[in-house]
Structure 1
Amino acid sequence: MTRVVIVDDHAMFRAGVRAELAGAVEVVAEAEDVPTAVAAVREHQPDVVLLDVHLPGGGGVEVMRQVGATGTRFLALSVSDAAEDVIGTIRGGARGYVTKTITGPELVAAITRVADGDAVFSPRLAGFVLDAFAGSIEIAAVDEDLDRLTEREREVMRLIARGYAYKEVARELFISIKTVETHMSSVLRKLQLSSRHELTRWASDRRLL
């Protein structure tokens, strides 16, 4: 059986994935953040790591960076389908990227294929990767701009650019409206933009919505 480590900061989600994989693969460990993920991979040396993109302690890319070159392959399993997350994770070393809308049998198949050395993507996400290599997404520019933003600022930026009101962003991220306003001001300043309209256009041009 393919040996798997599940990395996600939500215990209920990990339990659900483990149940879906039962009997098809061997789940040897679970982890909830970057340090526990790195420790689990080093200890168990699994065939595949199911890796959430956004984790406490630095994110999925940081897990791959700290683990370094091993025989373990990484398959991103994330709620995010944003271009910068997909491309950044693949650049960080993942062999595939699927979203959490995937079914249990599809996930088993994706794990098996990644373990065999294939690259696996949800259909829509494959287009991002192809576009990136074709040069129609300016990855260097995206990375440089996004590197100025903190993780929370990126979350606020994406929701605001999608048309969410401040109170909706606050509810979605479990923060106060005042905090949303503070993050938004910081985002506009760092990106040298002056309005929500400009932010939406900026994010749309970079396929971040």
Structure 2
Amino acid sequence: MKTAPAPTTPVRVVLVDDHKMFRTGVRAELTEVAPGLLDIVGEAADVDTAIKVIRAELPDVVLLDVHLPGGNGRGGVDVLQGCVAVDSRRGVPVRFLALSVSDAAEDVLAVIRAGSRGYVTKSITGTDLAAAIKRVADGDAVFSPRLAGFVLDAFGVAAGEIAEVDEELDRLSQREREVMRLIARGYQYKEVARELFISVKTVETHVSSVLRKLQLSSRHELTAWAMGRKLI
């Protein structure tokens, strides 16, 4: 007797866009084309609300518009940097998929450098968007067809810079990178511990390890190092 396949757990999604009608349309379209596969658990129309909703709901994927009011005036980049150490309910980092009308180079590269897993334009069909969300939830990178080559070319131009950054970052574990970013942004040890749900002693151990691996002597040097690589 064959065993029935286990039910698929819906991908939990937060939708961030400053146009309510657009959010309503996306929600309706995704519900129609992917019934039971996606669960939109929250919405936000500005940077500050988006960060609060993401931290409260811990979604698998955030559909993120590039241009948003609030924050420090950098739109989606502010949201990405405000959620750098947030894990989804599955215990993996919350993943972001930029969904924007813009295909300008500065917009695409800014959110990719800030940590987005992909970038698609609002001309995408509902079926393709649902598939893109699922792929991002599984850890893939997704781009609209005409942006993929552009992104590869753009990063290829700066290949030397990227290789240099990766070489140093590769010395750090994932948890050390999370601690490093928060410390570099000015968080105190107790705040880092609360943010990452670890002890202050563990934070101290990670900071010491980060400084040793990067051959730095203080958190001030660490901040300068991270700023120089646009990690904060």
TM range (shorter): 0.5 to 0.7
Alignment of 1:150-169 (within 5 A): none
Contact in 2 for aligned 1:87/1:128 (Cα 8 Å)? no
Question: Counterpart in 2 of 1:63?
Answer: 79
5+ long unaligned stretches in structure 1? 140-209
**Partner Cα distance (2:26, 2:127) in 1:** 11
Q: How does 1:128-167 map to 2 (within 5 A)?
A: 128-135=150-157
Residue 75 (1) aligns with residue 97 (2): yes
Q: In the alignment, residue 4 of structure 1 is paired with which amino acid?
A: V
Q: Given the alignment, which residue of 29, 33, 38 partners 2:42?
A: 29
Matched, 1:93 2:115: yes
Partner residue of 2:53 out of 40, 43, 63: 40
CA contact (8 A) 1:4 1:26 kept: yes
Moved over 6 A (4+): none
Mark the runs of 5 or more structure 2 residues left unpaired by the alignment: 1-9, 87-92, 162-232
Q: CA deviation at 1:136?
A: 7.1
Which deviations, in whole Å up to 9, do the C-alpha atoms of 1:17-45 show, x marking residues without a partner? 00011123000000000011000000000
Determine the C-alpha separation between the residues in 1 that align with 2:59 and 2:158: 35
Distance 2:27 2:52 in 1: 19
Between structure 1 and structure 2, the one with the greater Rg is: 2
Structure 1: distance between partners of 2:42 and 2:155: 34
User: What percentage of residue pairs aligned between the two structures are identical?
Assistant: 67
What is the Cα-based RMSD across aligned positions, in Å?
A: 1.9
Q: For residue 133 of structure 1, give the secondary structure of its aligned residue in structure 2.
A: helix
Which residue of structure 2 aligns with residue 173 of structure 1?
none
Which of 144, 149, 159 is the equivalent residue of 1:122?
A: 144
C-alpha separation in 2, matches of 1:65 and 1:128: 24
Say how many residue pairs are matched. Answer: 140
